[in-house]
Chain A
């Protein structure tokens, strides 16, 4: 039973950065912008998040540094893709290349340092409940935040006027513009929110997942988060399922490696990436009737006046 509990705890921990980053990207894409720079924003968030926490001794300040770094990165993207109407795919790639370089530069002086990881919730009585106690009441703050965030975004998208306008921009920017909505400004906010979430997701890695920073520690999680939004058909509820599924694949392959079954570790390590491909293929195939993607996703918008 303890093993089951340990596995579920580690699945939640592995899923949280995916869920955070994917939630941000979902909002960005729902506004009609495809930001492929999630990986770049995450890795800069990781470097700045760790740096902030190490210098200040506070996990919260570290997390905030990650958020701010993610927003700053997303502003570069917004300037290019929204301000200058540059191809969003190419801009996103550029953001990732830049992010990997920047994080190496920023993080160089923190490599080899350690911090105390983010504390876990501890409510005497509740946390001690066998099996479910630590899973429900013993997580770190990021885990709860990520779940609250997805719920908040679901509420925003489907229950508020702001969410309706956001989705309108993503489905038909010409109509939204004709109705008088500031399409580019709404998209700017959505891109910044995506950056904030990606930065926080990146910061989660050195602040809670492993208590140290290593260059390239996001290891493709940003790209998996992008795949998750496709997996979820751009719906927040399905995002939760997808993120935990991917977290489970990551953790189960680690446990399988630990258990020493005779498959080389590299094959097990490539499972999350292969799973992403297979899921993308299966889902895209099931959806041949019509795409559920925001109709204006990735298209350039220059208002005419």
Chain B
């Protein structure tokens, strides 16, 4: 007997619907085993991870705060991935957006600049993210260089550039030599939605981005072109779609969204520019995009779920001394299971008798 993979006659819609749930279930089982290996009670560990953050308003707000950048970035990435353009440098675009917007905040710090500062910062952040994402896109379209490698290399460059700025020219002179800029002025910060709470305007912007993504993909010709170029490149060529232009477009949009997420993060929850403003949002957003099936609504749900794991991971570290790296392991395993389950939409397993020797030969 032999277990083989074979293509289904048509894609299975049932599996398409339930596969993210199967993936999450399998991940939780795997995590329980990992908790046992780490010598923790799996039931209480899972409780701290997935249930506790849902029980108080502070954590609920914090989930929305963490989900906002994830969702924004993942919507942009999903456009790229649908068009078969592999932007994996969203983390770098996030950082560059944060830097570009912070430039204005630093320059206007302590002056009597008015309320135009914050919107201008957001625009700067989005523009810088888009330009930064266009570097790998242009290298791909113009020279054929792998966008995967170039976009990733730019993450390291952006990280070092931010580090240089906050240790060098932008360092807060009153900051006791910590590598950080001065706290942003109130006009340079993203307002909170509930007085005294953490939830800020970024959450609303993320919702707008989800709606815009859904309209773009579902209701416009461009959205249709993006999907066709990725799913059936030959058909797209016959249709006269310009795939190079779509690569540039999807990279620019995803870069802009990542940059916007970056500046919102700095001008909102963080309040100043410093190294380590992102716990890997740009990379986690890749998981969000796939877990959400590259679908805007799916991404919203997936973003909230992964934000939950960030909060749960922090609480588990405090309450049960579970290392923070467990969250990354969790995210990696989740992505594996999501991809594996998605494979069963197009393929299925079948047990067949061992193939007779004659079919093997022909050496």
**Does B362 lie within 8 Å of A179, measured CB to CB?**
yes
Proximity bits, A102-119, B CB within 8 Å = 1, else 0: 101100100000000000
Closest to A105 in B: B325
**Does A302 lie within 8 Å of B347, measured CB to CB?**
yes
A282 to B144, CA, bound (A): 10
The smallest C-beta distance from A278 to any residue of chain B, in angstroms, reads 9
Tell me which of A89-97, A126-134, A136-144, A189-197 binds B.
A89-97
Tell me which of B42-50, B209-217, B260-268, B331-339 binds A.
B331-339
Q: Tell me the interface secondary structure of chain A in the complex.
A: helix
The smallest C-beta distance from A96 to any residue of chain B, in angstroms, reads 8
Proximity bits, A169-196, B CB within 8 Å = 1, else 0: 0000000000110000000000000000
**Does B5 lie within 8 Å of A85, measured CB to CB?**
yes
**Does A94 lie within 8 Å of B332, measured CB to CB?**
yes
Closest to A223 in B: B152
**Does A100 lie within 8 Å of B328, measured CB to CB?**
yes
The smallest C-beta distance from B25 to any residue of chain A, in angstroms, reads 17
**Does B331 lie within 8 Å of A97, measured CB to CB?**
yes
* Contact residues in A for B329 (Cβ distance below 8 Å): 98, 101-102, 105
The smallest C-beta distance from B140 to any residue of chain A, in angstroms, reads 9
A274 to B136, CA, bound (A): 12
**Does B145 lie within 8 Å of A284, measured CB to CB?**
yes
A97 to B88, CA, bound (A): 12
* Contact residues in A for B161 (Cβ distance below 8 Å): 266, 270
**Does A288 lie within 8 Å of B86, measured CB to CB?**
no
B residues 114-146 near A (Cβ < 8 Å) are: 135, 139, 143-146
* Contact residues in A for B326 (Cβ distance below 8 Å): 101, 105
Known pairs A97-B328, A98-B329; A302 contacts B7 (CB<8 A) = yes
A residues 261-305 near B (Cβ < 8 Å) are: 264, 266-267, 269-270, 273-274, 276-277, 280-285, 287-288, 291, 302-305
Proximity bits, B156-194, A CB within 8 Å = 1, else 0: 110011011001100000000000000000000000000
**Does A273 lie within 8 Å of B343, measured CB to CB?**
no
**Does A90 lie within 8 Å of B290, measured CB to CB?**
yes
**Does A274 lie within 8 Å of B157, measured CB to CB?**
yes
The smallest C-beta distance from B251 to any residue of chain A, in angstroms, reads 15
Proximity bits, B297-324, A CB within 8 Å = 1, else 0: 0000000000000000000000000011
Proximity bits, B269-287, A CB within 8 Å = 1, else 0: 0000000000000010011
* Contact residues in A for B157 (Cβ distance below 8 Å): 270, 273-274
* Contact residues in A for B7 (Cβ distance below 8 Å): 302, 304
**Does B146 lie within 8 Å of A230, measured CB to CB?**
yes
Closest to A179 in B: B362
**Does A285 lie within 8 Å of B153, measured CB to CB?**
no
Tell me which of A6-14, A16-24, A76-84 binds B.
A76-84
Closest to A220 in B: B156
Known pairs A97-B287, A179-B362, A180-B362; A108 contacts B160 (CB<8 A) = no
Q: Is B250 an interface residue (CB 8 A)?
A: no
Could you say which interface size class chain A belongs to?
A: 35 or more
A94 to B331, CA, bound (A): 9
Proximity bits, A201-219, B CB within 8 Å = 1, else 0: 0000000000000010001
Q: Is B219 an interface residue (CB 8 A)?
A: no
* Contact residues in A for B286 (Cβ distance below 8 Å): 93, 97
A278 to B167, CA, bound (A): 27
* Contact residues in A for B168 (Cβ distance below 8 Å): 264
A98 to B337, CA, bound (A): 12
**Does B343 lie within 8 Å of A97, measured CB to CB?**
no
* Contact residues in A for B335 (Cβ distance below 8 Å): 90, 93-94, 97-98
Q: Is B150 an interface residue (CB 8 A)?
A: yes
Q: Is A49 an interface residue (CB 8 A)?
A: no
**Does A280 lie within 8 Å of B331, measured CB to CB?**
no
Q: Is B154 an interface residue (CB 8 A)?
A: yes
* Contact residues in B for A76 (Cβ distance below 8 Å): 336
A305 to B331, CA, bound (A): 36
Q: Is B360 an interface residue (CB 8 A)?
A: yes
Closest to B38 in A: A105
Closest A-B pairs by Cβ, 9 of them: A98-B332, A101-B328, A104-B325, A180-B362, A101-B329, A266-B164, A94-B335, A284-B144, A280-B145
26 of the cross-chain contacts (CB-CB < 8 Å) are A76-B336, A80-B343, A83-B5, A84-B343, A84-B344, A84-B347, A86-B340, A89-B86, A90-B290, A90-B335, A94-B332, A94-B339, A95-B332, A97-B287, A98-B328, A98-B329, A101-B328, A104-B324, A104-B325, A180-B363, A223-B152, A230-B146, A281-B139, A282-B143, A287-B144, A302-B347
Q: A80-B339, A102-B325 are in contact. List 4 more A-B contacts (CB 8 A).
A: A85-B346, A94-B336, A108-B323, A281-B139
